[in-house]
């Protein structure tokens, strides 16, 4: 349990520092440390990360560093996508979802190792940006629902590149969007009936404390170095999950009657 609570602290720190990475840590901790069933772990991840993100967004809201227009254009389509993805998860086997989740971790690591150029775009591109923000919201929402990932590592580049937001505002806005999408995805997720609410509550309390600490110290830490260390951790974890779950799928196929 101590290892699990340390994981919860790291989840909160990641959300507070980077505005992303919470779910990518939560699912492995619930699945491989606490040995929760695959889909239950994904549903619990949605509840945990959604609540931590909501609490973590409070300091940004007090600092007026949340762009509510972007929450509307990105978050509302994301609600529909998240619910649809969660319903789709009902028809996909748990090990397959974890393999998809691990591949998503590798995508996140690639984005963090080689960050996108987060530049402001010309104001004349605003109509096209708005349309692309809506489409990105739908896609990221569907990913959220399917594999229980908040998608902050995809949300933040979209908010900066397409929405023209400063990085710190993008982090605060991302937290609100993650909270909205996680709530929608949880409502439709097949694993919601197997949630251990005691564990969820413990993770939320510890993770929320971590997110406040992350928000407080974020400006003093080299963000590029931090993201690259986190990316290296993602590669190690994703590789291990892929090896474990592919082996489980192969073993199950070999043991099944022909």
Per-residue pLDDT of the chain (258 residues; tens, 9 = 90+): 777 778 778 777 777 776 666 667 787 888 888 888 878 888 888 888 888 888 888 888 988 889 998 888 887 888 888 888 878 877 877 778 888 878 877 877 777 676 555 444 444 445 446 777 788 778 877 877 777 665 666 677 677 766 777 777 887 888 888 888 888 888 877 777 788 999 999 989 988 888 788 777 766 766 677 677 777 877 888 888 888 888 877 877 777 665
CA 45 vs CA 71, 84, 144, 220: distances in Å? 21, 17, 10, 29
């Amino acid at each position: 349990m101590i290892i699990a609570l340390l994981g919860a602290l790291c989840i909160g720190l990641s959300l507070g520092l980077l505005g992303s990475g919470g779910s990518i840590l939560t699912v492995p901790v619930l699945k491989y440390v606490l040995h929760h069933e695959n889909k239950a772990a994904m549903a619990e991840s949605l509840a945990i990360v959604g609540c931590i993100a909501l609490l973590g967004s409070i300091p940004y809201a007090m600092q007026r560093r949340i762009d509510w227009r972007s929450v509307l254009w990105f978050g509302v389509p994301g609600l529909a996508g998240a619910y649809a993805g969660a319903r789709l998860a009902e028809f996909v086997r748990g090990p397959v979802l974890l393999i998809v989740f691990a591949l998503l971790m590798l995508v996140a690591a690639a984005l963090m190792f080689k960050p996108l150029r987060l530049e402001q775009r010309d104001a004349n591109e605003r109509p096209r940006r708005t349309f692309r923000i809506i489409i990105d919201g739908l896609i990221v929402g569907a990913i959220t629902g399917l594999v229980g990932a908040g998608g902050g590592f995809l949300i933040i580049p979209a908010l900066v590149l397409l929405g023209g937001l400063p990085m710190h505002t993008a982090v605060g806005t991302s937290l609100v969007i993650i909270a909205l999408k996680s709530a929608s995805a949880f409502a439709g997720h097949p694993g919601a009936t197997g949630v251990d609410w005691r564990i969820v509550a413990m993770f939320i309390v510890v993770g929320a404390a971590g997110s406040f600490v992350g928000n407080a110290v974020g400006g003093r830490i080299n963000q590029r170095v931090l993201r690259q260390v986190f990316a290296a951790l993602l590669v190690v974890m994703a590789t291990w999950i892929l090896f474990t779950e592919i082996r489980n799928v192969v073993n199950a196929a070999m043991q099944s009657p022909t």
